[in-house]
Structure 1
């Protein structure tokens, strides 16, 4: 098992972060193309909106996995955490833009929906928490903010939780998939309080 983990860590060190950005961005134009060509159904706006939102949640969860993987298995993917976070925010922004510009279409209705629809209120609250994280996801902010930077970026936890709740509230009726997402989020957050993996003894 240790050899497999060592191999994973060695491979991760060799993979540049720009690869993650490219791989994460590829679905965005693909799903937009499907929407434009009518392959997402007769009303493609809602499916496109949901695809971007789901990808955002998946990327947030992927970023949430990185610390438990390192703590409990010794798999070090920490170099990719910032890129995953930035791409998650990018897809949240796509999700928001499709909803506001293509679905709702007017600023007045956007504001009205944020106030009157609880699941949209929760989604916007999650977006608001992610906004300062996206702005400070650069080396200059890390140096300037010092220890405060780590505290600030713990806003990821409530943001991803709100994203999970937003998904559950968004769908009609009780559906398994959103519940699995939220259960995974809660499980990953709980893992942070479990005892850490012991360091391996030197050979």
Structure 2
């Protein structure tokens, strides 16, 4: 394995807490500001579409960051980067939930029966909902206590983050009605992350044989 630094990089507890605090503040301010501009009709001609776009994009970006931390921590090397993985994964769910909430609240006016019809009839919403449910399961089981209780099943469940990423990419592509332009760049990033983790997938396949 190629390493970028001659010796491991360590992040002090103060640095980790400071970075986490800054990330929390940035994410909260971004979401609050985005929805404030949306409800005050200052997000262009179609504020709902803008809200859906940015919350969806930041779901993918958060997933990309989360999946980048493991290979990056090995190649730097800096094991302390792994301490940010849970937080970025949870924010992927937060952005995904805000994406869903925007659609359910502003597009469907919280019409539950219509939401059920949309999930069944529209494949891109079906896969988007599947990705959201996976992220919900990962977030609900992200604590150390639950990880200890689940044992090996915890890792098996949390490997589904790759499936959530692919479903999210598919949802985004279908919603844009094209693979090219913006979606293709996100697919390239997602597939690159899968290639970086090919050794892990090969080990998982060997275990199932």
| TM-score, with length taken from structure 2 | 0.84
Deviation at 1:3, TM superposition (A): 6.3
Cα distance between partner residues in 1 of 2:182 and 2:154: 33
1:185 equivalent to 2:190? Answer yes
Deviation at 1:37, TM superposition (A): 2.5
Q: Return the match for 1:85 from 72, 80, 89.
A: 89
Q: Where does the alignment leave 5 or more consecutive residues of structure 1 unmatched?
A: 196-203
Cα distance between partner residues in 2 of 1:126 and 1:25: 22
Q: Where does the alignment leave 5 or more consecutive residues of structure 2 unmatched?
A: 201-209
- With 165-174 and 151-160 compared, the bigger mean Cα shift is at 165-174
Contact in 2 for aligned 1:21/1:87 (Cα 8 Å)? no
Cα distance between partner residues in 2 of 1:11 and 1:42: 46
Map of 2:61 onto structure 1: 58
CA deviation vs aligned residue, 1:86-107 (integer Å, no higher than 9, x gap): 1110110000011011112211
Cα distance between partner residues in 2 of 1:192 and 1:168: 23
Alignment partner of 1:26: what SS? helix
Contact in 2 for aligned 1:45/1:102 (Cα 8 Å)? yes
In structure 2, do the counterparts of structure 1 residues 157 and 37 end up closer, same or farther at CA, with 3 Å as the change threshold?
Answer: same
Deviation at 1:10, TM superposition (A): 2.8
Contact in 2 for aligned 1:56/1:92 (Cα 8 Å)? yes
Map of 1:15 onto structure 2: 16
1:45 equivalent to 2:48? Answer yes
Map of 2:28 onto structure 1: 25
Alignment partner of 2:52: what SS? helix
Map of 1:159 onto structure 2: 164
Contact in 1 for aligned 2:69/2:82 (Cα 8 Å)? yes
1:96 equivalent to 2:117? Answer no
| TM-score, with length taken from structure 1 | 0.86
Map of 2:131 onto structure 1: 126
Cα distance between partner residues in 2 of 1:178 and 1:153: 25
Contact in 1 for aligned 2:7/2:77 (Cα 8 Å)? no
Map of 1:201 onto structure 2: none
1:142 equivalent to 2:143? Answer no
Map of 1:175 onto structure 2: 180
Map of 2:207 onto structure 1: none
